[in-house]
Amino acid sequence: MLDKKIFIENIKTLFYALIIAIIIRSLLIQPFYIPSSSMEPNLLVGDRLFVTKYSYGYSKHSFPFSPPIFKGRFLDSEPERGDVIVFKTPADNRTDYIKRLIGIPGDSIQFIDGHLYLNNNQIFQSIHKNNDHVYCGSQKLNVNTFDEKLPNGKKYNVSYRIDHSYKNSDKYIVPNNHYFFLGDNRDCSKDSRFLTEVGYVHKDNLVGKARILFFSSNRSKGSMFAIWKWNEILRFNRFFKKID
């Protein structure tokens, strides 16, 4: 009888712990892993970060498996240009993407001769590093890295291939209740420029704001079980780094 009571108590404890974990994950904060190089040089493959779920309010995508428990968004607040945001891609409303918010409803965005224009004004860029490099999957790209500054003062690094493979685009007009996102690795990012794959992102698809890196590892250097190689595998300088 005692063993049965202990078993039941353990089940209750696990159940309560699961409920608490779901509440924290859905309403407060959630960890995410960076699987691609589309946000280099700011986010690297192997980075793990915390995303605050409360930053822009809640929709069905705030919860695991996006249950259709309600429509729209509540307790919502507007994101700002330059925020790094996790969202569900409109293509399937299931896959998590992380990109930088560039355009809000009513904005126009266009690339002309390799320069980014917002509402017909060229976005200010200053050179940060010439002959830099970033990755696109396993491919190493030769790039120039710039400090890019949005009209609201938000500043961050972006990389463009030296040969400017992406130079000109049509003009994108952001619809009502939608947002326009770009990756910081401008020549290696599937983002709102690709209308059939990502396109404009509805506000209900926003998951949360990326806040801080808490862990980062370079798996190409070896397994985490190789403790003697942690100085090569772990990027200690990225631990607990604020995301700009």
pLDDT band for 1, please (50, 70, 90 cuts). low
Indicate whether 120 pLDDT > 70.
yes
- Known catalytic residues are 38, 99
CATH number of 2-63+83-242: 2.10.109.10
DSSP, residue by residue, the chain: -HHHHHHHHHHHHHHHHHHHHHHIIIIIEEEEE--SSTTTTTS-TTEEEEEETTTT-B-GGGSTT---SSSS-BS-----TT-EEEEE-TTTS-SEEEEEEEE-TT-EEEEETTEEEETTEEPEEEEEEEEEEEEETTEEEEEEEEEEE-TTS-EEEEEEETT-S----PPEEPPTTEEEEE-SBTTS--STTSTTTT-SEEGGGEEEEEEEEEEEB-GGG--TT-GGGHHHHB-GGGTTEEP-
Indicate whether 130 pLDDT > 80.
yes
pLDDT tens-place string over residues 198-219: 999 999 999 999 999 999 999 8
Mean pLDDT of 131-146: 92
pLDDT of amino acid 7: 63
pLDDT tens-place string over residues 61-92: 988 888 888 888 988 899 999 999 999 999 99
